[in-house]
Chains A and B, each alone.
Chain A
Amino acid sequence: MNSASPGIERIFSWSSIDSKSRVVILVSILLICSIPHSSGQETITGWNEAESWTDYDLNAAVIHGEIIWVFGDSGIVRLSEDSGATWQNHTNLGDANLISADSYENSMAVISSEGIIYMKDDFESEWITIDSSQTGMKSVALTGATSLVIVGNEGAIWQYTDQTWWNRTTSFTENLHDVDFNGDEDGLVVGDSGTILATDDGGTTWDYRESPDPDCSIVSISYFNPYRMFAVSDSGQILYSTSPGGFEWQLREIESAGYNTTLATNLSSIDVVSSSRILFTGPDGYLGLSLDQGLNVEINILPTGVNTSFNDHAMFDYVSGIVVGDSGVILFTDRAGENEDIGFQIPDYNNFGEFVEYADDMLLSGFIATVKIVLFGILLGFTIGVILAMLKTAPTSFKNILERYSTNQIRALGAVCLIIGLWLLYTGVNRFPELQLEGLEYIFTPVGDPQGFAMFALGLGIVAISIQFILADKKLSGPIFKVRPLNSLATVYTDFFRNTPLIVQFMFIHFGLRLGMRIQQLMEGTFGDPGIDGIDYFFYGDRTFLSAIFTLGLNSGAYQCETIRGAISAIPSGQMEAGRSIGLTYLGTMRLVIMPQAIRICIPPIGNEMVNLVLNSSLAMVIGYSELSRQGKLMIATTFQIFSAWGLVMISYFVVTWTLALLLRRLEEKTKIPGLGISGGA
């Protein structure tokens, strides 16, 4: 007597699955969730620790010829002749803290907190000591063999040239932190309250530059060349100027920090080592590297046990050099400190078995990645397909919506809409000239000005509709009243997705719309950081995964929609009438009567769609999602076994699609309605 309906809900319900299948499903889910995304890969530090033979804080490092010099508290001096690997003691320079150093051709200068300057004017020469009798010095820059500029607290700027001291302090009295010169004429000085001062005469006169953030404290500047000037604030901002003379400064919107203008860490110094490569230091063990002028900053992994405040870099070229920090820490590198991914060594294959054993891991992770996007893609695609099909078959026309209102009301609505529509149209069209397009180029307006185009299109539509509203007669017989707005919307959607190539959709959605990133940020805001494994990571740890399932789902939905719509129209219209005649609503009849029958009819064609989706999922490699095909490419990159690698990938795809086809066949049998032939009618 207890007769559960054989609706879709029962076919997919847990209780209807036998125990053997339950075990298989559980194990599969466990397997999918437990395997980390890129197994077998490890990231290691790009820095090596050197023995400095001191525990004093090291404040400055400078390269003088072949030798690296390091200066620290209490007059500590160390030098290395082998690019920073081993260090020798050098006689202390006084007993005050040495705080800043610079080199220029054959000369080198160091300043102490007591205002004493130590200088060498040649590689072989002895140290010369100059006592300036000044306090509050912060940073030194050489502008010639024996000329230099020093900045300090309360806006102090001193120039030492021709053995004479000049006070060049300007009217700006903020504390100054750093000075840097490009050549011997052009220099920049930075300090508190966003102060930036510039000189073009070797430091004699200084001009103020407009600051992009007057509240920040700029602690370090690097004047790489007239088109590349970078500075950092202690609160983690990156400032840059590309105008010769440093006339205009901007805050970098840091992509890797989610387009924020701060790295969310404190910084102490910046070193620009090539036209695109920048190194950063900060307190609390922060070392950062950017390969693209500060757009993306990667945090350096440190050697184990090292955690100190870093103060200064000294780099020979754009890859090799050192960094110094508190408590006598010196690290050296020959790869600019860049993190290194290791793993996947190329093995030496004696036979095919060994190759397969090596390829297994990559193949499995690719396989799982593919299954993941396929599963979610199918779910999303089917849902979108059903919704679109419902929209397309919805009988609601403007007449249905409006017939309860009087003709005068409709005319009034038309008049209001006409005004709104004309306004939108006018505003939209007026924005187009800014795009500077000519003739046929106007078809690109949706890209050049999406908002303007939306206003134009919406306005045009509203005007066309509202004119007919104004002319409405009592019977609502105008052509517009037969229009089904929901159907039109769905048609626009499907037309768009079915008339553009999937590979372009992938790239547009991932790189253009940055959908994956946006969803990830949304999820992070709601559920917190995804971490690097576990369920959060599974769902939104990988942007390419998010973009991939949405692209596949949105695309597949557009195709599935037509299939489902066909199935809906194959259900005799009497079924809808019968459902409505017992008082069910339109949607109720769709849900309880039409859809359960239509879905059964369309299982075979939808199955084809799903197989297509599996095959299409290989295009996700263009956005960098590590699914099967991409793993295949990686395999070849590391093993050069082209035939074998693509062969394994191909077989893996076949396994996925074949299993899917089997499952669908089973589903079709299970959902068959007793007594109903292939005709599917009532």
Chain B
Amino acid sequence: MVDVVLSIRDLHKIYSGGVHAVKGVSFDVHEGESVAVIGSSGSGKSTVLRCINRLIEPTEGVIELRGEQINTPLADVNQVRSRIGMVFQSFELFSHLKVLDNITLGLRHVRGMSKSKAEEVALDVLERVDMLERIEAYPGNLSGGQKQRVAIARALAMKPEVILFDEPTSALDPELIGSVLKTIRGLADEGMTMLIVTHEINFARDVADRIVYLDHGQVAEEGPSSIINEPKTERLQKFLSSMHEDKISEDIENELVNTQADHGYVPDGTGNRPRS
């Protein structure tokens, strides 16, 4: 039996406005496993992720990281967060810092590394996301795909036990999505434990070991990635067919990655604003 890294038990979240966004969600993420969370907009995916990272407090339920409950006032929240990486839809790079300093910030101020040691680690992770060429650039001068890869590197640098992705490609122009997905796929191959909220159904099917389908704040279906081809519940079926109407070609990912379309791309400052 593989270790359970993250365990979520009967999670509820009622926002102060009264919205019951998450209604009793439970699932596990095992060591080295990639779990994709899918579901329509507003189904509570982000809420679950933010509860795990303690950016918000769940109303009820238990979240355990390697068997320790982390959602109690007694747990050291900063220590918990530094063990859980987070990649946001809108990148959230520190725009006043160069790429390299974006990565070293946490290493130096959370991990207490010296500047040179931190830069060593930073260069290492930047190489893994293929961003070595742009370490002196400011985030404002990067393309969306590059930004997201730097954000992934920032999370990776902290050597987290699990990385949470919240729609990492939703704010990207279609032609920039490929490079980011490729990076995540690379991490999956290396055996990184990941929880990925995504709308890229094909990517989820190919990369994820397991799929969790959320609907109206509940786990409507959960199973191996094969459930995407053979959904058991009607709700997932409906969701998948609605997704296919958006029809992203199965080849687009490979095609774009191969041509390295966004490499070295400098935006003209008009695009790449985060979408909600």
Let me know if B33 is at the binding interface, CB within 8 A.
Answer: no
Number of residues from A at the complex interface, CB < 8 A: 32
Q: Smallest Cβ distance from B143 to chain A, in angstroms? A: 11
Q: Smallest Cβ distance from B240 to chain A, in angstroms? A: 30
Let me know if A512 is at the binding interface, CB within 8 A.
Answer: no
**A584 to B78, Cβ gap below 8 A?**
yes
Please give, as numbers and ranges, the residues of chain A lying within 8 Å of B91 by CB-CB distance.
682
**B81 to A580, Cβ gap below 8 A?**
yes
Alpha-carbon gap, A528 to B93, bound state (A):
51
**A674 to B138, Cβ gap below 8 A?**
yes
Binds B, one of A240-248, A266-274, A593-601: A593-601
For A675, the closest partner residue in chain B by CB is B140
**B140 to A673, Cβ gap below 8 A?**
yes
Select one of B86, B93, B139 contacting A581, CB under 8 A.
B86
Please give, as numbers and ranges, the residues of chain B lying within 8 Å of A585 by CB-CB distance.
78
**A597 to B95, Cβ gap below 8 A?**
yes
Let me know if B261 is at the binding interface, CB within 8 A.
Answer: no
For residues 3 through 20 of chain A, which have their beta carbon under 8 Å from a beta carbon of chain B?
Answer: 3, 5-7
Q: Smallest Cβ distance from A449 to chain B, in angstroms? A: 41
Select one of A1, A581, A593 contacting B53, CB under 8 A.
A581
Let me know if B172 is at the binding interface, CB within 8 A.
Answer: no
Given contacts A597-B96, A673-B96, contact A592 B105 (CB under 8 A): yes
Q: Smallest Cβ distance from B100 to chain A, in angstroms? A: 5
Please give, as numbers and ranges, the residues of chain A lying within 8 Å of B135 by CB-CB distance.
1, 3
Q: Smallest Cβ distance from B172 to chain A, in angstroms? A: 15
Please give, as numbers and ranges, the residues of chain A lying within 8 Å of B142 by CB-CB distance.
675
**B95 to A588, Cβ gap below 8 A?**
no
**B140 to A578, Cβ gap below 8 A?**
no
Let me know if A521 is at the binding interface, CB within 8 A.
Answer: no
Given contacts A581-B53, A583-B158, contact A3 B136 (CB under 8 A): yes
Let me know if B109 is at the binding interface, CB within 8 A.
Answer: yes
Q: Smallest Cβ distance from B20 to chain A, in angstroms? A: 15
Given contacts A674-B141, A682-B91, contact A582 B136 (CB under 8 A): no
Please give, as numbers and ranges, the residues of chain A lying within 8 Å of B119 by CB-CB distance.
1
Select one of A403, A593, A677, A682 contacting B90, CB under 8 A.
A682
For residues 81 through 127 of chain B, which have their beta carbon under 8 Å from a beta carbon of chain A?
Answer: 81-86, 88, 90-98, 100-101, 105-106, 109-110, 119
Given contacts A582-B81, A582-B106, A583-B106, contact A577 B55 (CB under 8 A): yes
Select one of A3, A572, A584, A676 contacting B101, CB under 8 A.
A3
Contact with B along A588-631 (1 / 0, CB 8 A): 10001100110010000000000000000000000000000000
Q: Smallest Cβ distance from A591 to chain B, in angstroms? A: 9
Alpha-carbon gap, A7 to B95, bound state (A):
11
Alpha-carbon gap, A572 to B142, bound state (A):
19
For A598, the closest partner residue in chain B by CB is B96
Alpha-carbon gap, A538 to B24, bound state (A):
68
Let me know if A404 is at the binding interface, CB within 8 A.
Answer: yes
Let me know if B18 is at the binding interface, CB within 8 A.
Answer: no
**B100 to A584, Cβ gap below 8 A?**
no
Please give, as numbers and ranges, the residues of chain B lying within 8 Å of A596 by CB-CB distance.
96
Please give, as numbers and ranges, the residues of chain B lying within 8 Å of A572 by CB-CB distance.
90, 92
Q: Smallest Cβ distance from B69 to chain A, in angstroms? A: 14
Please give, as numbers and ranges, the residues of chain A lying within 8 Å of B55 by CB-CB distance.
577, 580-581
Alpha-carbon gap, A580 to B86, bound state (A):
10
Please give, as numbers and ranges, the residues of chain B lying within 8 Å of A574 by CB-CB distance.
88, 90, 92, 274
**A682 to B95, Cβ gap below 8 A?**
yes
Select one of A1, A575, A592 contacting B92, CB under 8 A.
A575
For A6, the closest partner residue in chain B by CB is B96
Let me know if B269 is at the binding interface, CB within 8 A.
Answer: yes
Alpha-carbon gap, A674 to B137, bound state (A):
8
Please give, as numbers and ranges, the residues of chain B lying within 8 Å of A577 by CB-CB distance.
55, 86, 88, 92
Q: Smallest Cβ distance from B59 to chain A, in angstroms? A: 9
**A581 to B81, Cβ gap below 8 A?**
yes
Contact size range, B? 35 or more
Alpha-carbon gap, A328 to B99, bound state (A):
87
Please give, as numbers and ranges, the residues of chain B lying within 8 Å of A582 by CB-CB distance.
81-82, 85-86, 105-106, 110, 154-155, 158
**A7 to B110, Cβ gap below 8 A?**
no
Contact with A along B44-74 (1 / 0, CB 8 A): 0000000001010000000000000000011
Please give, as numbers and ranges, the residues of chain B lying within 8 Å of A674 by CB-CB distance.
138, 140-141
Alpha-carbon gap, A4 to B175, bound state (A):
33
Please give, as numbers and ranges, the residues of chain A lying within 8 Å of B88 by CB-CB distance.
574, 577-578
Contact with A along B153-175 (1 / 0, CB 8 A): 01100100000000000000000
Let me know if B259 is at the binding interface, CB within 8 A.
Answer: no
Please give, as numbers and ranges, the residues of chain A lying within 8 Å of B100 by CB-CB distance.
3
Let me know if B79 is at the binding interface, CB within 8 A.
Answer: yes
Alpha-carbon gap, A648 to B137, bound state (A):
50
Alpha-carbon gap, A596 to B96, bound state (A):
7
- Among A1, A577, A582, A675, find the residue whose CB has the most chain B CB atoms closer than 10 A: A582
Alpha-carbon gap, A682 to B93, bound state (A):
7
Please give, as numbers and ranges, the residues of chain B lying within 8 Å of A593 by CB-CB distance.
94, 105
Alpha-carbon gap, A575 to B141, bound state (A):
18
**A584 to B269, Cβ gap below 8 A?**
no
Q: Smallest Cβ distance from B144 to chain A, in angstroms? A: 12
Q: Smallest Cβ distance from B235 to chain A, in angstroms? A: 30
Please give, as numbers and ranges, the residues of chain B lying within 8 Å of A404 by CB-CB distance.
73-74
**B96 to A7, Cβ gap below 8 A?**
yes
Please give, as numbers and ranges, the residues of chain A lying within 8 Å of B74 by CB-CB distance.
404
Q: Smallest Cβ distance from A587 to chain B, in angstroms? A: 11
**A676 to B78, Cβ gap below 8 A?**
no
Please give, as numbers and ranges, the residues of chain A lying within 8 Å of B79 by CB-CB distance.
583
For B107, the closest partner residue in chain A by CB is A582
For B88, the closest partner residue in chain A by CB is A574
Q: Smallest Cβ distance from B250 to chain A, in angstroms? A: 32
**B90 to A676, Cβ gap below 8 A?**
no
Alpha-carbon gap, A19 to B108, bound state (A):
32
Please give, as numbers and ranges, the residues of chain A lying within 8 Å of B138 by CB-CB distance.
673-676
Contact with B along A398-416 (1 / 0, CB 8 A): 0000011000000000000
Given contacts A3-B101, A7-B96, A600-B96, contact A677 B106 (CB under 8 A): no
For residues 252 through 276 of chain B, which have their beta carbon under 8 Å from a beta carbon of chain A?
Answer: 269, 274
For B101, the closest partner residue in chain A by CB is A5
Alpha-carbon gap, A681 to B96, bound state (A):
10
For B72, the closest partner residue in chain A by CB is A404
Alpha-carbon gap, A675 to B139, bound state (A):
7
For A404, the closest partner residue in chain B by CB is B73
For B269, the closest partner residue in chain A by CB is A677
For B59, the closest partner residue in chain A by CB is A475
- Among B88, B96, B136, B138, find the residue whose CB has the most chain A CB atoms closer than 10 A: B96
**B86 to A575, Cβ gap below 8 A?**
no
Please give, as numbers and ranges, the residues of chain B lying within 8 Å of A6 by CB-CB distance.
96
**B73 to A676, Cβ gap below 8 A?**
no
Q: Smallest Cβ distance from B96 to chain A, in angstroms? A: 5
Please give, as numbers and ranges, the residues of chain A lying within 8 Å of B101 by CB-CB distance.
3, 5
Select one of B85, B93, B95, B97 contacting A5, CB under 8 A.
B97
- Among B55, B83, B158, find the residue whose CB has the most chain A CB atoms closer than 10 A: B55
Q: Smallest Cβ distance from B153 to chain A, in angstroms? A: 12
Q: Smallest Cβ distance from B256 to chain A, in angstroms? A: 24
For B151, the closest partner residue in chain A by CB is A578
For B90, the closest partner residue in chain A by CB is A574
Point out residues on B near A: beta carbons under 8 Å. 53, 55, 73-74, 78-79, 81-86, 88, 90-98, 100-101, 105-106, 109-110, 119, 135-142, 154-155, 158, 269, 274
Across chains A and B, which 10 residue pairs bring their CB atoms closest together, nearest first? A675-B140, A583-B82, A578-B92, A582-B106, A404-B73, A675-B141, A581-B86, A583-B110, A574-B92, A674-B138
Q: List, sorted by A's number, 26 A–B pairs whose CB atoms are closer than 8 Å.
A: A1-B119, A3-B135, A404-B73, A574-B90, A575-B94, A577-B55, A577-B88, A577-B92, A578-B93, A581-B53, A581-B85, A581-B155, A582-B81, A582-B86, A582-B106, A583-B78, A583-B79, A583-B81, A583-B110, A584-B78, A584-B109, A588-B109, A674-B140, A675-B137, A675-B138, A676-B95
Q: A582-B110, A593-B105 are in contact. List 6 more A-B contacts (CB 8 A).
A: A577-B55, A582-B81, A584-B106, A675-B137, A676-B95, A682-B93
